[in-house]
Chains A and B, each alone.
Chain A
Amino acid sequence: RKEVEQDPGPFNVPEGATVAFNCTYSNSASQSFFWYRQDCRKEPKLLMSVYSSGNEDGRFTAQLNRASQYISLLIRDSKLSDSATYLCVVNAGGADGLTFGKGTHLIIQP
């Protein structure tokens, strides 16, 4: 399977700060992209899909750069509840399906 790479962190960020992390993917044929959130000892849950034009959902903004083959997630005004692992997910289509990155661990500090 093609790789999806993320900085594992942890990212230690003070509450209220803005934090951003990237994810790179190796398969240029990848068609759809997602960010999932996983809390400690819980299952992954979809945070947001990533569209070619970029998209925003409240404090969260996702961007896609096809030329450089990376996606990004920006969190503004971070909250303590944002502490989690963020998984980058790429769909190459066909038999390759979804490939999950190993995740970036984010810790928001009071």
Chain B
Amino acid sequence: DAGVIQSPRHEVTEMGQEVTLRCKPISGHNSLFWYRQTMMRGLELLIYFNNNVPIDDSGMPEDRFSAKMPNASFSTLKIQPSEPRDSAVYFCASSLVGYGYEQYFGPGTRLTVT
């Protein structure tokens, strides 16, 4: 079975550019999560969708970040405009039941903003 799929795997962009990260959750999972991981802050939850509806976006750093889930098999995380401090690994994860249950992570997108 295919796991969580993320694209691109690596992204290098210049400050001020728009960045779009993509995620395809495991088929049948009803919850999707976007995380950011840095050495300094560890793994941070950015936003959580349940049945395609955003439930908790309190972790989204600021208005430059936005996330959508137009259907059960696709989600995007957009950063516009990007800044060097956005450099991190961004993980997407999905879960069958909800927030407190096992989450399956994608391979991540390593973002570098110069």
Does residue A100 face the partner (Cβ distance < 8 Å to B)? yes
Q: Is the CB of A87 within 8 A of B100?
A: no
Complex Cα–Cα for A103 and B37 (A):
12
Q: How many residues of A contact B (CB 8 A)?
A: 19
Does residue B102 face the partner (Cβ distance < 8 Å to A)? yes
Set of chain B residues within 8 Å of A32, measured between Cβ atoms:
100
Query: A1-43: which have CB < 8 Å to B?
Result: 31-32, 34, 42-43
Complex Cα–Cα for A87 and B106 (A):
16
Q: Is the CB of A43 within 8 A of B108?
A: yes
Interface-side segment among B16-24, B42-50, B70-78:
B42-50
Set of chain A residues within 8 Å of B56, measured between Cβ atoms:
95, 97
Does residue A45 face the partner (Cβ distance < 8 Å to B)? yes
Q: Is the CB of B100 within 8 A of A93?
A: yes
Q: Is the CB of B105 within 8 A of A45?
A: yes
Q: Is the CB of A97 within 8 A of B48?
A: yes
Interface positions of B (Cβ within 8 A of A): 41-43, 45, 48, 56, 58, 91, 99-100, 102-108
Show 10 A/B contacts (Cβ-Cβ < 8 Å), sorted by A. A31-B100, A42-B107, A43-B107, A43-B108, A44-B105, A46-B102, A46-B104, A87-B43, A95-B58, A101-B42
Contacts beyond the supplied A43-B107, A98-B100, A98-B103: 20 A-B pairs with Cβ under 8 Å: A31-B100, A43-B91, A43-B105, A44-B43, A44-B91, A46-B102, A46-B103, A46-B104, A49-B102, A87-B43, A91-B99, A91-B100, A93-B100, A95-B58, A97-B45, A97-B99, A97-B100, A101-B42, A102-B41, A103-B42
Report, nearest first, the 10 A-B pairs whose CB atoms are least far apart. A102-B42, A43-B105, A91-B100, A97-B99, A100-B43, A46-B102, A32-B100, A44-B105, A43-B107, A43-B108
Interface positions of A (Cβ within 8 A of B): 31-32, 34, 42-46, 49, 87, 91, 93, 95, 97-98, 100-103
